[in-house]
Every structure is written in C-alpha cells, then in structure tokens.
C-alpha cells in the first residue's frame, strides 16, 4: 500500500505542474512566485522519486528476485525505467533551476519539452510496473495481499 501511495503522490505533483507549464501564454516568465512554486514541486518530486525507487528496490523487487530470480525481464525493465526516470527528472530540475540565469522564451520551450519527456518517462515506468504486477502478483502475493 505504501508504494501505491507514494506513486500516487508523485503522479499528483506532476499533474499540478502540467497546467502552469503548458498554459498558452508565457506569463510564467514574469511570475517569480509561480516559478518558485514549480521549483518546489520539482524538488519534492525528486525526493519522492528517490524514496520510491529505494523502497521499491528494498522491498518489492528484492522479494521478487528472491522468488523469481534476478534476471527476470520485468524486474530488469523496472530497474531500467526507474534509472531513466530519475535521470530525466534531474535534467528537468536542473533546467528549471537555471531560470535564474536565462529566463526567456527559448528557456521556457526547453523546460516544457523536458517536462513532457519527464511525463513520458513516468508513463513508461508505470507501464513497466503494471506489466510486472499483471504477470507476477499472484506468485509473489499468493494470498491476494496488497501488491506493495
């Protein structure tokens, strides 16, 4: 249940960032308060991702590899997607925090593009988890216990 809650919080934070980053106007360039708010959301997402991946690797994936072996394709896919997601978030966060250096339309376009890449990484990571759960939840949790 804890992993599901953490995943939902990450998803919620990403959703909150979507509207201000994708509004048609470029008002974000002139709104220091809103920009600071986005930076804070991004920082929290980074912290939550680090905690989530650590918890997942120390509990669910450790248990799965003990039962099913360490070369399981779905477990490898989750590890790979987690690494990509964290790297993409760090890239996005660094670019967002570079706002102090260059706050122009080109910067905003790149931040939007990096955010879209982050969202796509999050979706691929979520899909890898869904595939894992669909295939192995009854083996790892035979009594129907929560899958996390």
Q: How far apart are CA 133 and CA 57, in angstroms?
A: 15
Q: How far apart are CA 114 and CA 39, in angstroms?
A: 14
Q: Which domains does the chain have, with CATH numbers?
A: 3-140 (1.20.120)
Q: What pLDDT score was predicted for residue 98? A: 83
pLDDT tens figures, 44-96:
999 999 999 999 988 888 888 887 777 788 888 999 999 999 999 999 999 99
Q: How far apart are CA 62 and CA 50, in angstroms?
A: 16
């Amino acid at each position: 249940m804890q992993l599901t809650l953490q995943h939902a919080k990450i998803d919620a934070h990403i959703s909150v960032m979507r509207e201000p980053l994708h509004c048609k106007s470029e008002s974000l360039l002139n709104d220091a308060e809103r920009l600071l708010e986005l930076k804070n959301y991004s920082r929290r997402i980074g912290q939550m991702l680090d905690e989530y991946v650590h918890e997942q690797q120390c509990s669910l994936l450790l248990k799965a590899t003990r039962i099913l072996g360490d070369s399981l394709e779905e477990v490898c896919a989750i590890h790979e997607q987690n690494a990509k997601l964290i790297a993409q978030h760090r890239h996005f966060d660094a670019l967002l925090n570079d706002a102090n250096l260059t706050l122009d339309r080109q910067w905003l376009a790149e931040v939007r593009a990096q955010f879209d890449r982050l969202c796509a990484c999050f979706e691929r990571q979520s899909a890898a988890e869904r595939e894992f759960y669909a295939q192995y939840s009854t083996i790892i949790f035979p009594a129907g216990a929560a899958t996390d």
